[in-house]
Structure 1
Amino acid sequence: MLQSIQGDLAKQKQDMKDMAKNIKEAINTNIDEIFCRIELKTIELENKIERQQNTIDFLEKQVRKKNVVFFGVDETEQNYEELLEIMLNIINCTMKISCQKWEVETVTRIGKKFYKTRPVVVTISTKSRKIELFRKKKTLENSGIYIKEDYPPNVLQKRKELQDVLKQELNSGKRVALHYDKIVTLKTLATMDLTANTENKNKRFIKVVKLKVGAQ
């Protein structure tokens, strides 16, 4: 009887060990599944945030494409209309560009008002007018005023970081330039002519092939 009791006790202990092991494995499996679901959800949220940020960056880039930033414009205006007249006077009289009032969507000072003159962001209604402004930016020499593109803060930081690399590339004799937030290689005239000739030849070849196919 004692041996039977000892046998039952040993079996019961083993059953308890097996049960504890099964419970532990079940808990670990559940925890793993929970963490797996959380991880997948986190990845989905990160991807969604990244897509949204890319959309925001794209929209901001499109909006800023119409902007021209003027530096060095004395801050003497008292209201919006006066600032608008000042900027139109600079564009028409100093830069010798005929610009009507309706061609300027908005003008605004950026930054907090301190002792330093704040830049003026001018939003131009047409791309052609903006291109003309940058073509004639040399007319602002000796006026204390200069213009630049309007870049988002993250792009400005990236351009600042690339200045040293750009300088090294230029010193090594490479034809490069800073375009938005990247350093790009400029095509030489010979390369551009060769590319143009190749494209023309390809177009002529395609045209001949089409004619032959049509004849058949």
Structure 2
Amino acid sequence: MDELIKMMQELKADMNKKFTSIDSQFLQMEKNITTKITEHFDTKFQEMNNDLGKLRNKLQEQEKRLYVLEKNSVQRNLVFFGIDEKEKHYIQLQKQIFEIITNIVKVEIQETELQSIRRMGKKGDRPRPISVTLSTLSKKIQILKNKKNLSKTNIYIKEEFPPNILKMRTELKIEQQKEIEKGNIAFLKYDKLIIKNKKEYNTNKRQLSTTPPQLTENSERLKTNNDKKTQIQTNKKYKTNSNSMLSFISKNNDA
């Protein structure tokens, strides 16, 4: 009976040992599986993150290209406001724009320099603005410089901007007005608001109006060279006069 109990105890101990070993193996397997799954997910996550980064960079590049394309597409464009919408076809509208630029704005232009002309937006009660694409940027600049000649008319001219830039400028004008009310100098430059302190701006402007240091140095150098040249000429003259005087004295002594 004692031997049976002893065998049962040994069997139980052996079974417990085996179960413990199995539990340990299962735990190790679970740990290994978890580690592999984690590593796998980490690798996949890193790959996805890298792909996302590449896509983000490509998107930024595309946005930059689109920005440049949109900017260039209207770079030579002007928008005319306040022109009555009475034209019946394109040729009449072209002639009207040509006469305004030539006779009122006072800029010499050929009809062939009006590359494209179109009314903007849907037709309504008010005359729609007219987008004019010029063949050269220089002609656009000339017209803008002379737009003051339209002050006695109902017509006015503005640069054309892409829709997203126009929206940004509308928002920036609010900030511009706030800065002007503070006493600062604020103006829009395409899609940026430039703010300058009025006192600093005037100080810098006065400094720019003075003679640049390089020009001053050149003037001093030129003055020095002129002084040297004058001195050399004086020495030569003095030497010539001295020789003449010595010759005169020598001749008198010989006589």
TM-score in same-fold range (> 0.5): yes
Which consecutive residues of structure 1, in runs of 5 or more, have no partner in the other structure?
209-216
Could you tell me the TM-score, scaled by structure 1's length?
0.84
Q: 1:199–1:41: structure 2 CA closer, same or farther, 3 Å change rule?
A: farther
Select the residue among 72, 94, 97 that pairs with 2:82.
72
Distance 1:117 1:5 in 2: 98
Q: So what's the TM-score if we normalise by structure 2?
A: 0.72
2:207 maps to 1:191:
yes
Tell me how far 1:149 sits from its aligned partner: 0.8
Query: Equivalent residues in 2 for 1:1-216 (5 A)?
Result: 1-184=11-194, 185=196, 188=202, 189-194=205-210, 197-198=212-213, 200=215, 204=218
Q: CA deviation at 1:116?
A: 3.5
Per residue, is there more helix in 1 or in 2? 2
Please state whether the residue corresponding to 2:98 is helix, strand or coil: helix
Q: Deviations over 1:75-94 (max 9, x none)?
A: 22232222211211211122
- Determine the C-alpha separation between the residues in 2 that align with 1:157 and 1:200: 45
AA aligned to 2:89 is N
Structure with more relative contact order (C-alpha pairs < 8 Å, separation 6 or more) = 1
| Identity among equivalent pairs (%) | 31
d(CA) in 2 for partners of 1:40 and 1:49? 14
Q: CA-to-partner distance for each residue in 1:112-156, whole Å, 9 max, x for gaps?
A: 233332211111112222112112212222422111011122222
Deviation (angstroms), 1:96: 2.5
Give the equivalent residue in structure 1 for 2:245. none
Write the letter of the residue equivalent to 2:134: I
Deviation larger for 36-45 or 163-172? 163-172
Unaligned runs of 5+ in 2: 1-10, 223-255
Q: 2:16 is aligned with what amino acid?
A: Q
